[in-house]
Amino acid sequence: MAVRVKSLDDMIREIIASLQAGESGRPAFTLLVGSGFSFPIIPTPTQMLKGDIALWRYCKHRKIPGRFRHLAEVIAEGLATQDQIVEFEREMWKPIHAKAAASEKTLFPLTDGLPDLSTPNAVGLAYQAVMADGLMNNRMRRQYLRDAIERSYPKVNGAHIFLAGILEAQETWDWGAPFCRTIFTTNFDPLLQRSLQLVNKLYYMTDRPEVLEPPDDDESTAIHLVYTHGSVHRYDLLNTEDQIKHAREQNAPALIEYFRHHGVIVIGYSGWSDTTMEALASCPSFDSNLYWCDRHPATDAETRLRPEVLKILEAPEKHAYYVPIPGADEAMRLLHRELKLGDVPKFILSPVDTMITQLKSIDVPSGPAASSKPEATELSTSLAALLEGTLTRLNVAKSAFDDPSIVKPASAEGEEEVAKALIARLLSDAFVAYSQGKREHAIVLWSTVITTPVVPARDRAKALFNRGVAFGESGESTKAIADYTAVIDMPDAPAEQKAWTLNNRGFAWSRSGETTKAIADYTAVIDMPDAPAEQKAWTLNNRGATRALIGESTKAIADYTAVIDMPDAPSEQKALALNNRGVSWRKSGESTKAIADYTAVIDMPDAPSVQKANALSNRGWTYFANLNDAVSMVGDSQKALEIAENNLTARSNLALGLLLTGEADAALSEYETLLARTSDTAVIRTAIDDLETELRKRPEIAEGAKILDRLRNAIPGKDDDASGKALPWPPSLS
């Protein structure tokens, strides 16, 4: 039986519906978060296995002083070479693998002396083995984890911040039931604690697996953090197979009824055979569904998820669904926004309010402070009076924070600080307005920053860049180019900002048909010696797309290949380059190379879902257009829509393929869905052109004429301008 899938948007809609239908005092959901929720601040098990544990042991073995560093820092500081660390890592794994092979436990594979981590099962086996025999005792395991966490101090990531914002708001919102009061985590890190402290949210912890009890979260508004494998604050941590097995047998039965009476949202957890996985598997069903969120596309779920997870997701009676997400940060941001809490947590926009609330919670006597020394004269100022004075000053600070213009500085330095505060307020308000869809108001605020006489170069460049993005989205290319040019011409604008601005101006030139100017701007970024890898990769993709538009396919392929060959290019840029190169190969008649590039994206474990869907759509079209294989186009188009149901190209391809394989009714249904999902004339025109081309070859398809008339009738009198739509959009606001 296949895994049942829901989109992230569907999951969020159902979460809100459950909150509205729930009881006011009873949380509708519980969260189960794993290492992916703390990414990238804390290393995941895979990252630990891919050198992090070996690096820690190497530093201890060589007695390298100071804090535990990242690999790049160790190499940059001349403390070790890459080859030295890799050789040490191979030697570390030899006895670990040998001991596993000599036991009756399932063996994880090695490739070139290092663990082969291509399957979830291999990751789990290698992790438990290295924890048992690479970090040989509780003290070593705890010290490694503490050092890895200390390396990140005091950071928290977006997923934790947005979750904290939701948990802060849930007791007073109008949705109905609270969202969640209990969070289970297999992590050892304190990121949940840090984020709740930022919003002044009371929490308590269960971090001793040997005494884990079923939560009772219907009464208290405090957040219960359940560390099912222990935390770095405790001596006993569950890492080895024997430790996890013992805790599973002891604790899982006590959690079954709790999970059954809640909705369960799982994020960043692989589903190892531990306490929570056993309890979830034993639940007959979940009151408000189980949503298993992961970065893998739906088409990869059956190969990327563990068998124990698939068994839950394939059981219809459990009401469990797989939800592909772009990442924990983005998933929590979207949930935060759809809960009407904005794109930024409240405490970031109004931190003084949080401080005032914290101090108001202090209850102290109003009398004079008593002295412990009999001979001392009692002071007439009480702690309560001091507290009241602090609150008075904080309220003044709040007024100044809300409106820095009221501050009357007493010195030139103070005047400069007030001016900076005014600009910061304008930039903050502009971002909020833009995120709320009030683009025109945001443009007014950025214009105010730009025209203010004394503005730091970084802030002026940021305002010009952001206003240029807004103008570009409004179709005002001339104004966008003018703003980008102003940043590029600034002698004191930050170099990184100039690089992004050149990239954006190149994009705007391309959309205006000025391809020579566009290529010149892209080349300027690519030739920068210190431009970050992400910028170079993005710009190479844009230059390649521009060259492809003017027929320079060989040069376009060279640009895409440069991205693919970059060792430090982000995965989303490599996936985009492979997709783009595949398109160029196909148009050049190199269908085998095109299919190979598309397949490489589909097989990438870390490619974004949208790129995998595009690759499937592109590969399906190549099968059809170059190899006359409509059946394969139908199959790939259906897989693409499982990942991204709004992929209009895949929808159009599927409809055409169904018609050509004799399923006219299904084809008409898909064309109707296409029309319902878009009013973009260019998309509909492409569908018409493709259909007309095939009907000229196959006039015997009687239903085709009726479908063609339906599509033509959907087009308004004037076509939209679709120029430049082959290019990826530039980055959004800075």
Q: Which two tokens stand for residue 238?
A: 């569950």
Residue 214: pLDDT band (50, 70, 90) is confident
Asked whether residue 233 carries a pLDDT value surpassing 80, the answer given is yes
Rounded mean pLDDT of 172-181?
94
pLDDT at 560 over 50: yes
pLDDT above 70 covers a percentage of the chain that reads: 95
Residue 432 clears pLDDT 80, i.e. is over it = yes
**Which is higher by pLDDT, 557 or 351?**
557
Q: Look at residue 100 in the predicted model and tell me its pLDDT.
A: 87
Joined tokens for residue 356: 């005032």
pLDDT value of residue 606? 73
Helix axes 457-473, 412-435, angle to 10 degrees: 20
User: Phi, psi (5° rounding) for residue 702?
Assistant: -65, -35
Q: What is the mean pLDDT of residues 694-709?
A: 89
Structure confidence at residue 372 (pLDDT): 54
User: Is residue 138 over pLDDT 70?
Assistant: yes
Return the half-sphere exposure (C-beta side, CA atoms, 13 A cut-off) of residue 141.
Answer: 25
What confidence score (pLDDT) does residue 369 get?
53
- Mean per-residue pLDDT, 557-562: 96
Do the Cβ atoms of 504 and 484 come closer than 8 Å? yes
| Mean pLDDT for the stretch of residues 174-178 | 94
Q: Tell me the mean pLDDT in the region 153-172.
A: 93
Q: What percentage of residues in the chain have a pLDDT greater than 90?
A: 58
pLDDT for 218 equals 79
Check if the beta carbon of residue 611 is closer than 8 Å to that of residue 576: yes
Task: Tell me, rounded to whole angstroms, the distance of Cα 97 from its chain centroid.
Answer: 34
Strand partners, 267: 33, 293
Q: What is the pLDDT of residue 368?
A: 58
Q: Within the chain, what is the greatest distance between any pair of CA atoms? A: 111
Residue 53 has pLDDT above 90, yes or no: yes
Across residues 577-584, what is the average pLDDT?
Answer: 96
Any idea which fold 403-497 has? 1.25.40
For the ranges 174-178, 187-191, 450-454, 713-717, the lowest mean pLDDT is seen at 713-717
- 336-351: average pLDDT: 91
DSSP assigned state of 52: I
Kindly report the pTM of this predicted structure.
0.74
Residue 377 confidence (pLDDT): 47
pLDDT at 725 over 80: no
Higher pLDDT, 599 or 218: 599
Tokens at 160, concatenated: 């934790």
Q: 403-497: same fold as 8-41+155-341?
A: no
Give the type of residue at 217. Answer: D
Residue 719: pLDDT band by 50, 70, 90 thresholds?
very low
Between the alpha carbon of residue 367 and those of residues 287, 360, 374, 380, 383, the distances in Å are 53, 17, 17, 8, 8
* Cα distance between residue 481 and residue 680, in whole Å: 25
User: Average pLDDT for residues 232-260, to the nearest whole number?
Assistant: 89
Q: Is the pLDDT of residue 317 over 70?
A: yes
More confident residue, 732 or 63: 63
Query: Which residues in 489-504 are b (16+ Cβ under 10 Å) and which e?
Result: ebeebeeebbbbbbbb
- 534 or 293: which carries more pLDDT confidence? 293
- Provide the H-helix boundaries in 261-382: 275-282, 301-304, 307-313, 328-336, 346-349, 351-360
CB 394 within 8 A of CB 417: no
User: Which of the four pLDDT bands, split at 50, 70 and 90, describes residue 726?
Assistant: very low
Residue 421: is it exposed, middle or buried by C-beta count within 10 angstroms (0-12/13-18/19+)? middle
Distance CA 634, CA 643 (A): 15
The rounded distance, in Å, linking the Cα atoms of 289 and 553 is: 49
Q: Is the pLDDT of residue 480 over 80?
A: yes
| Average pLDDT, rounded, for the chain | 89
442 neighbors 703 (Cβ within 8 angstroms): no
**Region of poorest pLDDT, from 291-300, 535-544, 625-634:** 291-300
Q: Residue 717: pLDDT band by 50, 70, 90 thresholds?
A: low
Helix, strand or coil, per DSSP, at residue 290: strand
Question: Residue 721: pLDDT band by 50, 70, 90 thresholds?
Answer: very low
pLDDT of residue 731: 47
pLDDT at 729: 39
pLDDT digits (tens, 9 = 90+) for 388-426: 889 999 998 889 888 888 888 888 888 888 888 889 999
pLDDT of residue 381: 55
pLDDT of residue 724: 31
Residue 105 has pLDDT above 80, yes or no: no
What's the CA gap between 563 and 100, in Å, rounded? 40
* Residue 492 in this model has a pLDDT that exceeds 80: yes
User: For residues 728 and 312, which has the higher predicted lDDT (pLDDT)?
Assistant: 312
User: Would you place residue 716 in the very low, low, confident or very high pLDDT band (cuts 50, 70, 90)?
Assistant: low
Does the N-terminal peptide bond of residue 40 adopt cis geometry, omega within 30 degrees of 0? yes
- Locate all alpha helices (DSSP H) within 366-411, ordered by sequence: 383-402
On the question of pLDDT at 630 being above 50, the answer is yes
Domain extents for the chain? 8-41+155-341, 45-150, 403-497, 608-734
Structural element, H or E, at residue 321: strand 320-324
Give the residue from 511, 497, 469, 430 showing the smallest Cα distance to 726.
Answer: 511
Query: Taken in order 490, 496, 499, 500, is the CA torsion positive or negative?
Result: negative
Q: Provide mean pLDDT across the span 283-301.
A: 89
Check whether domain 608-734 has CATH 1.25.40.10, yes or no: yes
CATH number of 8-41+155-341: 3.40.50
